[in-house]
Structure 1
Amino acid sequence: MLIISGTDQLKAKNEVNDNNSKYEDLNNDSGDCGKEFSSVQKKLATVSKVKKTMNILGSAVTAIKPRNDDSFIDRLNYYYSTVIIMVMSLTISAKQYVGQPIQCWVPGEFSKAWEQYAENYCFVHNTYWVRPNEEIPQDYNERINKQLIYYQWVPFIMALQAVFFYIPILFWGAINRMSGLNVPNVVRLAECAADTEEEERTKNITAICTHIEDSIRMQINHRKTASPCERVIKFGLYDGSFIRNMYIITKLLFIWNLYIQFYLMNLFLGQNSTLWGASILYDIARGKNWEYSGNFPRTAICDFNVRVLGNLQRYSIQCVLVLNMFNEKIFLFIYWWFVFVAILTTGEAVFWLINTQILSRRIVYASKHIPLSSKDERLFQKFCDSKINTDVILIFRLISMRTNDLIVSDVLQMLWSTYKTRSHLDSVSIASNIDEYTDGVKYTTIQKYSLNNLNHRYGYSRSPQTLNSPDTDSLIK
């Protein structure tokens, strides 16, 4: 019989306990590794979702392109404002969904899972702000009044703001072709004329003049048969002011969008004064801390209930709103950006209204580009009244913004030469023709194209011209 001493039994028992302890430690380590691996997987899945979202929003940003039938102030509204707000929305989204938007100070008995639950709950539900020297309100309604309801919605609100900034230019792009004047293509032809040789340049300028002449003639034909009520309903479609009217309405949409967004932003942020942007700058200049001003507070209180053994246990914990540090800078910038763009847009709307509506302003603008003699002054006034209407002067100013004044001068001189020649031809005998009228007179290339185009379209000459009239109708399409 094998006899084992008590000492040997104790050693064997200790070895078994050590092996069991090592096995338990190994299991615990495996469990911890599994938890860490699961946590890493969740973070990678979150990063992947955010990356896809940011790719979609990034594609939306790159899809926004500036137009050629606008002014710089228009681009401040629909292009730069949209892009800036979208980029800010992407920045906040990345911080909100990849990082930790909220961190809470929980009681010591909370496990890691409880802490995560508390932070998720407090982020989804609204927190409320209390000054450091104040007690937490006992009244539930008072806590509701102090709630911060905006920080979790900031990326979505900013994306919506960007969409509303782009809506007015969609209206302008859809409506400005209804008058018969294809504004984008006219400006495009002017841009091509500024970068081409003389022959191609003259051809493009002639196409612009032809398109303007055809549009004016169409308006005159419609105006003869339209009733007064129809002329009012059409917003100047038959009076040569439709494009200008739609452009002013677009400006008003930009202004309306700015003021409405300004008001809604104040409402969304819970600001009682519309001057909160100036107030924040004043607080920064005085060194006043956000803890006492309440503007975008970094800490807040969160209340939640936990059911323990059938009973509700209420907790009030303090949380750090990391996002509010970014929100303060972003919304402060947006506040002053709105003010800046609203002032410029309002001023430009008044500028366009005055300089397109008043005949004397149109005459002054046209006379800067056309050399006149004293005997042509009365005829020139008639020319401006009949040809340089509010729509045409708007197009000239847009062309000047996108190219230079030389293109505008060439177009105006061709229109003036055509109008002047037609007026003189109407005063001579019907038997006369352009060949006889222009015999022995030296004309510039622009004037020759103008006369030949006049002859080609209106049939003043019975004999073919040596300088063929260009096919301008195909260029404008």
Structure 2
Amino acid sequence: MLNTFSVLKPHLKFKNSFVSIDNLAFKFHYRATFAILLVCTLLVTSRQYVGEHIRCITGSSIPEHDSSVPHPGVGHMINEDPVKYHAYYQWVPFVLFLQALMFYFPHYIWKTMEGGKIRKLADGLRMVELSHYYKENNSVTFDTKYTLHSKSEIDKKILQVRNAFERHRIINHLWAFKLVFCEFLNLINVLIQVRYTNKFLSGRFYHLGIDFINEDFDGTMDVLDTVFPKVTKCHFHKYGHSGTIQKHDALCVMALNVINEKIFSFLWFWYGILVLVSICALIWRIQTYWLHGRSTRFNEIVFSFACPGNLSKSDIGILTRQYKFSDWLFLYYLARNMDAHLFKSLFRCIMTPIVDVEATLTSKLIEDSQYNENAREN
């Protein structure tokens, strides 16, 4: 079994990536759901757990059964009896794999739109915590992966990031709205997948989880057997000895539906959680858009999670008054991807020119006010 799932190992490496360009709700889609659907695809395509996916009994009589039918849902047909056709089972692996790709697609779009801007600015800062205590003028490299920077190089890096951030404010003013678009696309995608799955299962997916919860499992046939029958009737048409077509009635065991019922029952609950998480993520994003430029206290709380430690309240106030939502969100993701003390230095470096401008304007307003008062007195 472990050998079977080893083929997914390259696709399921959830590394603790140094750079994060999205939130936890986004990761629910392109990491968790993508991995779940890949595992499900592997399960339904593997023969070693269920044997033959479908096997039919023909050419012999059915053994005696203690009821009027050989299996629930299978028996002598009357003209008035409704006939249910189950042909979806042969498409299950293709549908699951396609859904896995669809859940990864919004992340691919956002990654392309983002263009690696956060990674480029945060690159090379993996050992800044140690660099903070490093007093030498030369850099030291360990294992060709990590570099211990000198104090002067760190200051230079901070200035470069600050200049890049200022260029970002001019050029990439739609950065945040592209992220919001992809987050909204996540919600639209999961709703589409729920609707498509319901259509794929002939309209039985919407209430599958509710029916499963309400099922007492005391009868001869439970709710899952009606959607995923384990035994069904099949008709085969063959040419007889005289060349006419003969109809053969067979009883077919669909062992794969033992796996399918577990997969789609789980997906019903998972998709429900995913819809709820996606809606909450969008509500949170709307709240941040509304409060980022109105509440200094809100900004203090948000940046305290991204950058542990207290930032200057005066700088936070300037951030609240001066920055648009796209710039605010970009700065927040910089805080998430940088060491706390380094971001504090960057934050101060970004705010200092604005503080100086505000101080100059305030001083000018005071001078003008005093001049007007003196003019009125004279």
TM-score band, normalised by shorter chain: 0.7 to 0.9
1:308-363: CA deviations, max 9, x gaps?
11122211111111011111111111111111122112101211222134344563
Q: Which amino acid aligns with 1:384?
A: T
Q: Counterpart in 2 of 1:390?
A: 325
Q: Counterpart in 1 of 2:101?
A: 163
**Quick one: structure 1 residues 352 and 321, their matched pair in 2 at CA, closer, same or farther if it must change by over 3 Å?**
same
- Paired residue for 2:203, among 267, 271, 277? 271
Q: Counterpart in 1 of 2:112?
A: 174
- Paired residue for 1:296, among 217, 228, 233? 228
Percent identical among aligned pairs is: 18
**Quick one: structure 1 residues 346 and 191, their matched pair in 2 at CA, closer, same or farther if it must change by over 3 Å?**
farther
- Paired residue for 1:370, among 298, 305, 311? 311
Instruction: Check whether the contact 2:229–2:257 (CA below 8 A) recurs between aligned residues.
Output: yes
Q: Which amino acid aligns with 1:108?
A: S
Q: Counterpart in 2 of 1:311?
A: 244
**Quick one: structure 1 residues 326 and 98, their matched pair in 2 at CA, closer, same or farther if it must change by over 3 Å?**
closer
Residue 133 of structure 1 deviates from its aligned partner by: 7.6
2:257 pairs with 1:324: yes
2:59 pairs with 1:107: yes
Instruction: Check whether the contact 2:122–2:334 (CA below 8 A) recurs between aligned residues.
Output: yes
2:81 pairs with 1:154: no
Instruction: Check whether the contact 1:68–1:187 (CA below 8 A) recurs between aligned residues.
Output: no
| Bigger radius of gyration among the two | 1
Q: Counterpart in 1 of 2:164?
A: 211
Residue 208 of structure 1 deviates from its aligned partner by: 2.6
The structure richer in helix per residue is 1
Q: Which amino acid aligns with 2:254?
A: L
Partner SS for 2:227: coil
Residue 105 of structure 1 deviates from its aligned partner by: 1.9
2: CA distance, partners of 1:356 / 1:194? 32
Residue 244 of structure 1 deviates from its aligned partner by: 1.5
2: CA distance, partners of 1:335 / 1:194? 45
Q: Matches of residues 54-93 of structure 1 in structure 2 within 5 Å?
A: 58=8, 61=11, 68-93=20-45
Q: Counterpart in 1 of 2:181?
A: 249
1: CA distance, partners of 2:129 / 2:219? 57
Q: CA RMSD in A?
A: 3.7
Q: Which amino acid aligns with 1:61?
A: H
Residue 152 of structure 1 deviates from its aligned partner by: 1.3
- Paired residue for 1:418, among 353, 359, 374? 353
1:35-71: CA deviations, max 9, x gaps?
xxxxxxxxxxxxxxxx9x999x748725897762111
Q: Which amino acid aligns with 1:352?
A: R
2:287 pairs with 1:287: no
Number of positions where the alignment pairs a residue of Structure 1 with one of Structure 2: 324
Gaps of 5+ in 2: 62-69, 134-150, 302-309, 365-378
Partner SS for 1:108: coil
Instruction: Check whether the contact 1:303–1:317 (CA below 8 A) recurs between aligned residues.
Output: yes
Of residues 201-210 and 84-93 in structure 1, the stretch that sits farther from structure 2 once superposed is: 201-210
Q: Matches of residues 213-252 of structure 1 in structure 2 within 5 Å?
A: 213-216=166-169, 218-219=170-171, 240=173, 242-252=174-184
Instruction: Check whether the contact 1:89–1:158 (CA below 8 A) recurs between aligned residues.
Output: yes
Partner SS for 2:46: helix
Partner SS for 1:136: coil
Instruction: Check whether the contact 1:82–1:166 (CA below 8 A) recurs between aligned residues.
Output: yes
TM-score (norm 2): 0.73
Instruction: Check whether the contact 1:92–1:154 (CA below 8 A) recurs between aligned residues.
Output: yes
Q: Counterpart in 2 of 1:437?
A: none
Residue 365 of structure 1 deviates from its aligned partner by: 4.3
Partner SS for 1:291: coil
Residue 418 of structure 1 deviates from its aligned partner by: 3.2
Instruction: Check whether the contact 1:130–1:136 (CA below 8 A) recurs between aligned residues.
Output: no
Gaps of 5+ in 1: 1-50, 110-128, 220-236, 430-477
2:272 pairs with 1:339: yes
TM-score (norm 1): 0.59
Partner SS for 1:70: coil
Instruction: Check whether the contact 2:25–2:277 (CA below 8 A) recurs between aligned residues.
Output: yes
Q: Which amino acid aligns with 1:152?
A: Q
2: CA distance, partners of 1:201 / 1:290? 72
Residue 92 of structure 1 deviates from its aligned partner by: 1.3
1:144-188: CA deviations, max 9, x gaps?
xx01121111111111001001110111112224xxx92332354
1:384-423: CA deviations, max 9, x gaps?
333x321232234334545565554443233222322344
2: CA distance, partners of 1:355 / 1:191? 29
